[in-house]
Amino acid sequence: MVALDVAATWTRILSVTAGAAAAIGAPGPATRVRGKAALSWIEGPWLAIIDFQGVKRCEREVLDPWLSQHAEPLLLVRHLLLAKPVSDEVFIDLTSQAREAMPEGWRDAPRPVLILAPAARTAPERRREYLDALSQLRIPLLAGGSELWGIREFDVELLVALAQLANPAERAAFRAALDPSQTRLFDQQLPAAEAAVLDDLVGARDEEGAVAADLDGLSALHPEAHPLAVYSAVERAHNRRRAEKERTQFSARTVAARLSARGFPEAADPCTPAFAERADALAPLLAGDLQRLFEANQLLGFCEED
């Protein structure tokens, strides 16, 4: 077992139930873009691959049984089929529960792949290993690499804590260590925290700021585009403007986005009058916002004529 810091864990549980995100990164099947669920862009559930590289052995021993016995059925309800957790080598094999729940014909076409990586424990070169492994797979589901894939990071410590607290004895000991005035609140907040974390793993969150605005704008211009593709294009357009250490390399990725591996800065064309007119019909934009949205539009694969 992993020793739990009661005060720190309780504080984290309360922060999650209050709305603090536990995971960050690419959208998943629960993500909503302009009110439309990401799942509606493609038939069937998504594939989830949990990466245990960087996760300690004692943490794995807690997470493994919790995932298979408790979390996986709940993630299946949230439209995620789980692969067996990967470690040093990225070898993808569905769990027995996932194989049983897999819809007929699901393997016959590329599906969105959501890689769940431990936050702050994944080396930059690990991204290349994901990409290489997906490119080399020859099973029908991922022949030649998945069409769409993304990386979300999860809070290892919080996930381990929730896994331990699913055990009645561990939960009772934790509860007894709390101030008596907090025990009733704990009983209410623990299931809420678990639900919030599982929802966050599948992308159920609201984004704020310029990225969210560009996501809304680009998805409105191309309502049939898949959320992973939209997010990838917006991310790359924003990354062009960031210093090297500030670039988010984990979030959305498509096969086409491998081109970004050639490095930054990338040359960008100026916004065309035709695109400016079309975008202005949605909402008035400042020049900088318009140019960024234009670049994301190009990265998505839609070029406007002058």
Instruction: For the chain of 306 residues, list the mean pLDDT of each consecutive stretch of 10.
Output: 87 90 80 66 78 92 93 90 84 86 82 85 77 64 59 90 94 94 94 92 74 84 79 81 64 48 65 91 87 89 50
Cα separation, 269 vs 252, in Å, equals 22
**Contact, 84 vs 118, CB < 8 A?**
no
Render the burial of 59-78: b for 16+ CB within 10 Å, e for the rest.
Answer: beebbeebbbeebbeebbeb
Cα separation, 299 vs 267, in Å, equals 12
Record the pTM.
0.78
Beta strands in 38-112 (DSSP E): 46-50, 80-82
Cα separation, 177 vs 18, in Å, equals 22
205: left (phi over 0), alpha (psi -120 to 50) or beta: beta
Question: Residue 135: what pLDDT?
Answer: 67
pLDDT digits (tens, 9 = 90+) for 261-283: 445 556 788 999 999 999 888 88
Question: Residue 111: what pLDDT?
Answer: 76
